[in-house]
Amino acid sequence: QKEVEQNSGPLSVPEGAIASLNCTYSDRVSQSFFWYRQYSGKSPELIMSIYSNGDKEDGRFTAQLNKASQYVSLLIRDSQPSDSATYLCAVNGADTGFQKLVFGTGTRLLVSP
Amino acid sequence: DAGVIQSPRHEVTEMGQEVTLRCKPISGHDYLFWYRQTMMRGLELLIYFNNNVPIDDSGMPEDRFSAKMPNASFSTLKIQPSEPRDSAVYFCASSWDGSSYEQYFGPGTRLTVT
């Protein structure tokens, strides 16, 4: 059973701080790694994709990937109350051609004004 | 371009009734995924299609669930008969072969079976 593990939280940070969200995965063959943001009562929204080791930055978001440690993280700089949501980590695997994603249970982030 | 479209957005039905959920993927996307999300189990993949052909239905919970994709722009997920434990949010997502496996989700259907 391929697994993706996340701390359920909540992770509480003050406005303007850096929020650090972490995810580990079990399938060494995984090639693609994603972060989705899900507001309460809404659908998951893709915010970051990362495919190779290292950092990828997009605005206030930075995704970090370490395949050797099977670890992927998401940093949110200058956190805003509007960033309060659940963040889902998703990883693909070798099953049926890598199109299949396995999702973690998500980390709930709370940003206080 | 319009995103993934799902209908209905909310469905309340009685145990034993048939429920049909509908999805229209993003135009040009050749992969379509059905997920179920509950507090207890999180987001689970039920089935996915490639070019209208079911590829992996290992997540379908039991024979009461069935899914079809008669053409590139339409898919259904049917539950017959429905049970209270089927209450969940059902999402449809789509992707295309050149998208590096990125999936885009529809707004979901919140199903309540009483």
B31–chain A Cβ distance below 8 A for any pair: yes
State percent of chain B over pLDDT 90: 89
Cα–Cα distance measured from residue B13 to residue B15, given in angstroms and rounded to the nearest whole number: 7
- Give the model's pLDDT for residue A1: 61
Rg (CA), chain B: 13
Q: Does B63 touch chain A (CB under 8 A)?
A: no
Please choose, from the candidates A27, A46, A5, the residue with its C-alpha nearest in 3D space to the C-alpha of residue A92. A27
| Structure confidence at residue B1 (pLDDT) | 63
Whether the pLDDT of residue B32 is over 70: the answer is yes
Q: With a CB-CB cutoff of 8 Å, which residues 21-50 of chain A face chain B?
A: 31-32, 34, 36, 42-46, 49
Q: Can you give the pLDDT of all 113 residues of chain A as single tens digits? A: 668 999 999 999 999 999 999 999 998 888 899 999 999 999 999 999 999 999 999 999 999 999 999 999 999 999 999 999 999 999 997 776 788 899 999 999 999 99
Percent of all residues in chain B with a pLDDT value above 70, rounded to a whole number: 98
